[in-house]
Structure 1
Amino acid sequence: MGIGETLAEGRKQAGLTITEVSLRTRVRESVIRGIERDDFAPCGGDFYARGHIRTIARVVGVDPEPLVRAFDDAHGGAPQPSSATGGPWETDRPLVPFRERRSPNWSAAMAMAFAALVVVAGVQFFGGRGGQHAARQVAEKPAQAAASPHQQQPRRAGDPVAAAPRKNVELRLKARRATWVNVRGDKGRTLFSGTLRSGTVREWKAKKKISILIGNGGGVRLTVNGKDLGTPGQSGNVVHLDFTPSDPEAA
């Protein structure tokens, strides 16, 4: 099955017309019709043809990479790597902020403890036994300052305990307007593909990863692992998102 035939079959299985695909991808209908006939001349060049193939494949729920490789095989191979990334057809962008994890400043603590030991050794060397008591008093204060807060303040009953890592990723979607979505779980298995009516609420669960392609980013509201993320995009924009059990960090 050729590239165009594969995309056309995927579009029909998704229940979409060429006009609907054009609205969601912003690719002209004439270009889409040409691609479905394996005519890539209207794309304006191989570079744009690859982008159109990827964008259309994602909207109709087809894996784009085998189609792009087939295109490259038929048109002289893939282009040389470039420092530029992204393109006019790419709409993926991270929407969930992740906070930077900071580790304790053990270097400063070790330096303070080492300084305390130097003071003790100096007093013992020059002052003999008579200076040992004073040296211990000098050493105790830096050592206490370098100690971990957890050592100074033992956990009491009722203190909060860190939550165990999640074993699954859970996604909840509420359609604010009629919206087409495609949801895939582990190993790319399709969990749902179709149009949701306004007010519809759907939930999905996977062990490692959930990927969702939304035809209208402003028409849905997402909740991931119990965290309300709100609306993931603007009205009319196609949005592609991936979630794992650790997303978002604050959940």
Structure 2
Amino acid sequence: MSIGNSPESPEDDRNFPADDRDSIGRALQQGRIAAGLTVDEVSASTRVRIPIVHAIEEDDFSRCGGDVYARGHIRTLARAVGMDPAPLIEQYDAEHGGRPAPTPAAPLFEAERIRPEPRRPNWTAAMVAAIVAVVGFVGFTMFSGNDAAPGSGAVAEGPAPDKKTTSPTVKPTKTKDTKPAPTDSAIAAVPKDKVTVKLTATDDKSWISAKASDGKLLFDGLLLKGESKTFQDDERVDLILGNAGPIELFVNGKKIEEKFESGAVERLSYAKGDPEAG
């Protein structure tokens, strides 16, 4: 018998594992149980997904995505439960056609690990930044407004020479406009071919009645403090003043200087031309 072909050769033991040797998945499962770890704990510590851990412990490596991923997961799980990964890797190579060509394993099987969730936008920080920006803008605007105040005063003083040159022409017009009262000038413009009567309650209310020359009632009621009434007719206006004292009276543009007594009842009649009391 040839010694090189002896069935007891060590090389044959490497290529054909002994029948009493546990499978890779069985060995990893027993190592995990001996370490007192659950599948969830192993998955959390290795970042290998739970379904893949269960599949490897059942010797199903199809979910690993290839030999390179499978070898990486076996090595990771073995170290997590305190086992030496080298015999398990050799066993896997012997059962799956030998060691694959060297590839950068870490980037490949890293994709199969549990990836952290993408970070969500920090809305709180964004809101705080927006508030700070708004407050800063408002503060800057207020500060700029305060700084600009002296400048605005300086600008207002700039056109002073123009005001000096125009002031001589403005002053005479102002004195002319302010001398007559607005009501006087308005009444002075009444037509001369009519009778125009204006009554104003100066400091108290007064009951008045006004009729035209044909007997038509022009007004009958209270004239409150500060109110005015104007009546006009072609021939004559007849008045009855229930409280004549507070009444200021203009007839045909002229003020009636006669002072009426407060509480007195006056019956007056005015025609065209100079005012004459009837």
Report if TM-score (shorter chain) is over 0.5: no
Q: Which structure has the highest helix share of the two?
A: 2
Compute the TM-score of the two structures, normalised by the length of structure 2. Answer: 0.30
Higher relative contact order (CA 8 A, sep 6+): 1
Compute the TM-score of the two structures, normalised by the length of structure 1. Answer: 0.34
